[in-house]
Every structure is written in C-alpha cells, then in structure tokens.
A and B are shown apart, each in its own frame.
Chain A
Amino acid sequence: MAVSPLLTILIIGAGTYLFRLSFIGILGDRTVPAWAVPPLRYVAPAVLAAIVAPAVLLSDGSIDVSPASNPEFLAAVLAGVVTWRLKNVIWALVVGMIALWILQWLS
C-alpha cells in the first residue's frame, strides 16, 4: 500500500492530536486503565534508547566502539555522562559535538 509522505505525516499528526485530546477532551472523567499505566511509563526510555543506541553504536551496519573509526560512540558516552552529572540537557549537545570534533581531529 503506497501512502504519500504528506498523508503519512497527516496520519501521525491526527493520531498525536487524538492522544493529546484523549482524556482532556473526549474521555473526560475516566482515568487511564490500570493495566496501561506501566507500559506508558516505559515508552519514553525504551523508544529514546532504541533511537540513540543504533545511531551511536553502529558504523556501516556493524557494532564499532573504536574511537578512531567510530568517534560518535565515545563522544556520545562522554555527552551522556556529563548530561547525567550536570542535569542540564544543553550539555549533551555542547560536549558531544566538541568531543566529536576533537576525536575526528586526532585520528
């Protein structure tokens, strides 16, 4: 089934709006069913890690942690540690980019 990019975006947009509207505008007084609370609680860490890990661990399709051939991995580890210690998300960007540039320059 071929769906155009615009329609794909519109469907995601409509679904996202319905999620946001759900309890505020439609379901009113009802609360989230008890069975749904734990899964929803772990969506954010699971999804975000599923995006980050392949992006920083894989280089040309295989796992690569060498700072010489895949500097993104070490740069991401440094950025993650600094962000966790300093509790400020802006550091992920600053530390990660600077670490990447230094590692690229060294190798």
Chain B
Amino acid sequence: MTTEGSLRSTALRDGFWSAAPLLVGVVPFGLITGVAAAGSVIGAGLAWSTSFIIFAGAAQLATLDLFDAGAVSVVIIATGLIINSRHLMYSAALAPAFREFPASWRSLLPYILTDQAYAITITPYNDEPDPVYRRWFFLGGAASFWLTWQITTAVGAVFGAVIPGAWGFTFAIPLMFLALLIPTLRNRPALVAAIVGGGVAVLAASAPYRSGLIIGAVAGVVAGVAADRWWR
C-alpha cells in the first residue's frame, strides 16, 4: 500500500471512530423518523425519501408533521428552510478547512454536512495541517452518519406500521426535539430565544396555514438577538 493510500485509510478510520459515540444517538432518532414516515399521509416511500433528499432529521420530522396537518406547501418549505438555515453557520465555520480541497470535493462533501459531522470535524481540523487527511477524515465521519441515517430511517419506515399506537411512540418525536433543544441552551440569550419561541408557538398554535412554528421561531430568534445585545 502506498503512503498516500494508508494515510487515506487512517483518516477514514479516524473519522469513523470520532463519529462512533454520536452514532449511538443517531440510531433512535433515525428509527423514530422512519416510524413517522411509515404513518405519513404522503406515503411511506415518499416520506422516507426525505432521508436522502433533505438529510436533516429535525427538518424531516417537521416537514412530515406539517404534511399530516394539511399545511400548504409554502409554509412547509419555509419551515424546513428556517430549521436548516443553521447549516449556513456550519458551512462558514468549515470553509477555511475545506479551502484547499479539489472543487469536486468542495461541492460533494457539503451534501453530507450535518450537526454531528460539524461537531466532530470542527475541533480536530484546527490541529490537522494535511488537507488530504482532513478531507478523508470528514468523509469517514460524515458518511457514517449518512449511511446510519439511511438504514435506520428505512428500518423505522418498514417496521413502523406494526408498532401498536397504544405504546405512545408518537411522543418520541417531541422527546427527540427536546433532546436536541437542551444542549443549545448554553447561555441566557439562548434560553430567552427558547422561552419566547416556545411560548409564542403555543399561543400561535391555531394560527392560519399551520404557521405557528414559523411565527414562534421568528419571535424566538428576535428575542434571542435582543437578549444577546442586552447582555453583551
């Protein structure tokens, strides 16, 4: 094996092992998203296709929920894009580390950029000078999340139909979002954003076109920014 070949496989393996602890959390999330797809009004197959078309769990669950609620497509699209706008931040934060990659890598790797892939790459990237190592490390980590997501959501979509409704597994969806929410409450402005976002969404729950989530989210972001200014 050439030196470059062994560098690649080392980097792929390092990426995978950095991802491994977080994969444990991805599995139930994927299964639940798959179960939600199984019961979707748009059909299990089309609902599952969000796993590789959108490939972002929170946006997928919110999208499927809005389809079930009969929301208009403009609201569904706006909600999905607001939820996923955080990827702009990840892209900006990773851009310096990706700068030396070939153009094909720079256009394809972003497809598998996720919250988890960002989390495992942002720190080691600061210390790793070799761009070849860096891109194979990212591929090893991010592709593990992609593959795990495709498999677990498919398994959930196939077996979701046979889980008894009395077990209350629909409650696992808000619990999953709660599990994502808690780690974001790192400071007071973030807490303000969450309280206002959640509070307004509750008050706006019967707003027309199922726009309550958008209204709550925008109110929460505005409150968070105001609190950020206040405390800085």
Chain A residues within 8 Å of B, Cβ to Cβ: 1-3, 5-13, 15-17, 19-25, 27-29, 31-32, 36-58, 61, 63, 72, 75-76, 79-80, 83-84, 87, 89-93, 96-97, 100-101, 104
B122 within 8 A of A: no
Which of B95, B109, B219, B221 is close to A28, meaning CB atoms less than 8 Å apart? Answer: B95
Range class of the B interface residue count = 35 or more
Tell me if A89 and B111 are in contact (CB < 8 A).
Answer: no
Are B177 and A51 neighbours in the complex by a CB distance under 8 Å? yes
Smallest CB–CB gap between A4 and chain B, Å? 8
Q: List residues of chain B with CB under 8 Å of any chain A CB.
A: 24-25, 28, 42, 46, 49-50, 53-56, 58-59, 62-63, 67, 73-74, 76-77, 80-92, 94-95, 98-99, 103, 106-107, 109-111, 113, 167-169, 171-185, 189-191, 193-202, 205-206, 212-213, 216-221, 223-225, 228-229
A75: B residues at CB distance < 8 A? 171
Quick check: A10 and B111 within 8 Å, CB to CB? no
Q: What's the dominant secondary structure at chain A's contact region?
A: helix
A12 and B63 within 8 A (CB) = yes
**Could you tell me if B205 and A19 are in contact, using CB atoms closer than 8 angstroms?**
no
Q: List 25 A-B contacts (CB under 8 A).
A: A17-B111, A22-B88, A22-B91, A24-B106, A25-B110, A28-B99, A36-B88, A42-B224, A43-B217, A46-B197, A46-B217, A48-B197, A49-B181, A49-B216, A50-B217, A53-B197, A53-B202, A55-B174, A56-B174, A58-B205, A61-B205, A79-B178, A79-B179, A90-B24, A93-B176
